[in-house]
Amino acid sequence: YEILSGLVGSEMCIRDSQETVYHGFYQVLKLKLQHRLFKGGWSKELQRELVVRLPAVAVLMYDAKTDQVVLIEQFRVGGMAHENGPWQLEMVAGMIDTQETSEQVAVRECKEESGAVIAQRDLELVCKYLVTPGGSNESLAIYCAPVDASQIAGIHGLPTEGEDIKVQVINRPDLWHMLEQGKLTNAATIIATQWLQIHYPRLQGQWGS
């Protein structure tokens, strides 16, 4: 994985060396690099480790008629030491590990992780952002999609991937209250909830009729 190959000789940084130090579920690179300084010239040589991840997609499923949000709950290893525990309330999400577009992955993940059938044409882009640019190249595209929350329930996921995913239908005002109380603990869900709080009147006019 040549993370810096496209930047050689550019105004951003130059490549010195790159070594793969781990390759498992994720890949970890050890880099030596320099970058341009704001005041001119180049930085000293920096050594950094970079966690390489595929780009990912998440979907905020919203029922504009009932003012409800469909989220999922599942175990996350990164939350094992968190005071609220490793079972995270979050959006349907998945990595783009095929030749599919982000919209196609969004549709597929909604079906696999919640049983929801959504139309690609109904997806509205919320935002795209770098998740943890201090140490990873992971990017996430968040979409919002209209659903009928009354038709989405149960336990889902692919057993081959060790998934055990429970659907949770939450009233939007209650979800906002959870955010204010600090009960949402992953960035993507916090960002999407804040976005929804701004845009739900428009979505109700657009999807609620």
Task: Give tens-digit pLDDT for 117-171.
Answer: 999 999 999 999 999 999 999 999 999 999 999 999 999 988 888 888 999 999 9
Strand partners, 90: 72
Are 116 and 69 in contact by the 8 Å Cβ rule? The answer is no
Burial (Cβ within 10 Å: 0-12, 13-18, ≥19) of residue 91: buried
CA distance 62 to 148: 8
pLDDT above 90 (res 64): yes
Higher pLDDT, 80 or 102: 102
Determine if the pTM surpasses 0.85. yes
Query: Which band of pLDDT confidence, cut at 50, 70 and 90, is reported for residue 107?
Result: very high
Q: What's the confidence (pLDDT) of residue 160?
A: 84
pLDDT tens digit sequence for 17-38:
788 999 988 899 998 888 888 8
For residue 180, give both structure tokens. 């204010």
- The DSSP letter of residue 151 is G
Residues 48-59, mean pLDDT to the nearest whole number: 94
> Confidence band (pLDDT; 50, 70, 90) for 13?
low
For residue 142, the one-letter residue type is I
DSSP secondary structure letter of residue 67: T
pLDDT of residue 12: 54
What pLDDT, on a 0 to 100 scale, did the predictor assign at position 41?
87
Q: Is residue 52 a contact partner of residue 63, using CB atoms and an 8 Å limit?
A: no
The H or E element that residue 204 is part of is helix 187-207
- At 208 the pLDDT is 87
> Whose structure tokens read 């998934």?
163
113, 161, 163, 180: the catalytic one is 161
19 is catalytic: no
Sole residue written with tokens 């880099």 = 31
